[in-house]
Amino acid sequence: MPVVKADDEEELVDPQAVLREKCQSKGHIESLYNKYQECNDRVNGRSKTTETCMEELFDYVAELDHCVAHSLFSKLK
């Protein structure tokens, strides 16, 4: 298995994290995140509920990953 070492002065940046930040500001992804947060606030505001926010979370993460996938692999060495 190959080992990659960075120079001591060089700070490595995760390209996926950078792309996620860019994609997160896109309108439809931001609205999915807001939907997830609204659900999360609603669930946390109740003491007894069977509701979870898994659907909202999956929708948000799937769309975010789909956006990132368009350019992630071109940035990997």
What whole-number distance in Å separates Cα of residue 16 and Cα of residue 14? 5
pLDDT at 64: 95
CATH top-level class of 15-44+51-73: mainly alpha
pLDDT in tens, the chain (77 residues): 556 566 666 777 888 888 999 999 999 999 999 999 999 999 999 988 888 999 999 999 999 999 999 888 777 66
pLDDT at 2: 57
Read off the amino acid at residue 22: K
Whether pTM > 0.85 for this model: the answer is no
